[in-house]
Amino acid sequence: MMIPRVSLAAAGLVLLGCNDFNDGKTRSIIESNPVRLDAEQVTLTQQQVDCGVKADLWDSPVQTNDRSVARLTDKGRALKFYEDVAVAEPGYRQPFVQVRGDFMLGVLEILNTTDGRDKYTKLVETKVGVKIDHPCFTTPLPIMGLKKGMFSQDANPILRFRLDNSWQLDRIVH
């Protein structure tokens, strides 16, 4: 009789473990499958902008008033960059560009995990980036979060996870 009770207790612990939600599981979920992104802003370094010009992903930046913009080429659009690259814009320290499509993501850092609105959701503040398969982008491009309703390089995105048999990335909720 003792063996079945021990077996049941062990099975219960294994099942509880399936619902554990920790940084390792979060990272694995984020990085394991492509994620659909629609109109997310990612930051670039100046070196990446320069490399993109040399690789014909976008034209050389053009200064207009207080902005500097690099026009996307077909090669840049093929990588799922969606709008022209904002090389210099008031309120932003780094160049940035919009992306759309299915992307693999890379976790740069997990900052905070909180419970969602119900017991089946978790909210994770994370530094996460978009992986672009091109020599100009050897590291994931950081996704910007929202601050006061505007994309901000000072804010991190908030990702919502939902438990539906197993934990899954539901969406970026900012």
Q: What is the mean pLDDT of each run of 10 residues along the chain (174 residues)?
A: 47 48 95 95 98 99 95 98 97 97 97 95 97 98 94 96 95 90
Q: Quote the pLDDT of residue 135.
A: 98
| Residue 58, C-beta contacts closer than 8 angstroms, at least 6 positions apart | 49, 52, 70, 71, 72, 73, 76, 81, 84, 85
pTM of the complete model: 0.86
Q: Quote the pLDDT of residue 20.
A: 85
Cα 9 to chain centroid distance, Å, stands at: 39
Residues 142 and 155: beta-carbon distance below 8 Å: no
